[in-house]
Amino acid sequence: MRGRGFQIYAICYLIFLYAPIALLPIFAFNNSTVISFPLSGFTTQWFSQLWTDTSLLLAVKHSLIVAVSVSILATCFGVFAARATTRYAFPMKQGLMGMIMLPLVLPDIIIAVSLLVVLMQMGASLSILTVILGHTLIATPFTIAILNSAFQSLDKSLEEAAIDLGETPASTFRLIILPLVMPGIISSLLIAFSISLDEYIIAAFLSGTEATLPVYIFAQFRFPNKVPVIMALGTILVCLSITLLTIAEYFRRRGIAKAGGKDTGGFL
């Protein structure tokens, strides 16, 4: 009987998790601006409207630029930090790492406000550049956490063997370390990308006139006739994320299988 209770709990949980997402495509193809049942008919007009909405496309462009930049930047910082903490001893290592990981638990609103104040003081103008800055700040702790475990599982003697066979530290990094931590790097890129893509608070504070997608979408809810278009956009985003994650997971598993390692679970 206890088992049954857990089953019901699990099912409720999953419905709660995925039902709203399932609603997206339903209303994206519904021939009405009112989001409610019963459905009134099939249409693809919201999708065609999507392509003509230049301000929306601009927001998509901003978001993509920000997310790609953030995923690369945060992953680079993550690689540096993970490499440093797993291989070298330096004074204040624990304290320093704690400080770097702090944004993980710091409310985003605090980061957003303080960044805004600092940027204003410096006389910087708000743009997607400042959003990239803010997002990199919050994404880096995540990439460090992922990459730390990837670098930690690396046998130190592999590096020494490469050096022993005549390679320089730089070429050893390229030939041995990088291929072996690649699954971790892919995970890190993806996490940073998705953190940035749907981040609202910091983007709202720091984007100025160059709104990112979440900021734009939230603003559009004021206009009821725009809602079905956003549903259409949401549908496309869901499909895109699933495709992206599948591809990434494929490469990650292939990388692990090639290196003969055990799958210690990516984030999928």
Partner 1 sequence: MTSSPAPAARLARPLIELREVEKYYGDYYALRKITTDIREGEFFSLLGPSGCGKTTLLRCIAGFEEISGGHLSIDGKDMEDVPANKRPTNMVFQSYAIFPHLTVEENVGFGLRRDPSSKEDKARRVAEALEMVGLKGFGKRAAHALSGGQRQRVALARALILKPRVLLLDEPLSALDKKMREQMQSELRKLQRQVGITFILVTHDQEEALIMSDRIAVMFEGEIAQLDSPERLYRRPISRKVAEFIGIMNFLPARVLSTGPQIALDVAGLGQIAIDAEQCPGTPRTGDASVGFRPETMTVLYEGDPEPSRGKVAQGTVEEVVYFGDMSYYEVRLEGVEKPVQISMRNVVGRPVLLRGSRTRIAWEAGALVLFCEPKA
| Residue 166 touching partner 1 (CB under 8 A) | yes
What's the closest the beta carbon of residue 77 comes to partner 1, in angstroms?
A: 25
Give the other-Cβ count within 10 Å of 167's Cβ.
16
Three-state secondary structure call for residue 42: strand
Cis bond upstream, residue 38 (ω within 30): yes
Q: Which two tokens stand for residue 77?
A: 């910082």
| Residue 185 touching partner 1 (CB under 8 A) | no
Task: Supply the DSSP symbol for 124.
Answer: P
Q: Which is nearer to partner 1, 139 or 186 (CB)?
A: 186
Site size for partner 1 (CB under 8 A): 19
Q: Which is nearer to partner 1, 134 or 183 (CB)?
A: 183
| Residue 260 touching partner 1 (CB under 8 A) | yes
What's the closest the beta carbon of residue 183 comes to partner 1, in angstroms?
A: 11
> Distance between CA 39 and CA 80 in Å, rounded?
53
CA nearest 75: which of 173, 169, 196? 196
Q: Please tell me the chain's helix, strand, coil percentages from 3-state DSSP, rounded to the nearest 5.
A: 80, 0, 20
Query: Residue type at 266?
Result: G
Residue choice 41, 155, 209, 222 for contact with partner 1 (CB under 8 A): 155
Stretch that binds partner 1, among 24-32, 81-89, 96-104, 252-260 (CB under 8 A): 252-260
- What distance, in Å, lies between the first and last C-alpha atoms of the chain? 31
Residue choice 160, 243, 247, 263 for contact with partner 1 (CB under 8 A): 160
Q: Which is nearer to partner 1, 8 or 155 (CB)?
A: 155
Residue choice 53, 108, 167, 198 for contact with partner 1 (CB under 8 A): 167
Q: Positive or negative, the Cα torsion across 49, 17, 11, 250?
A: positive
What's the closest the beta carbon of residue 176 comes to partner 1, in angstroms?
A: 6
What is the binding site for partner 1 (CB under 8 A)? 155, 157-158, 160-168, 176, 179-180, 258-261
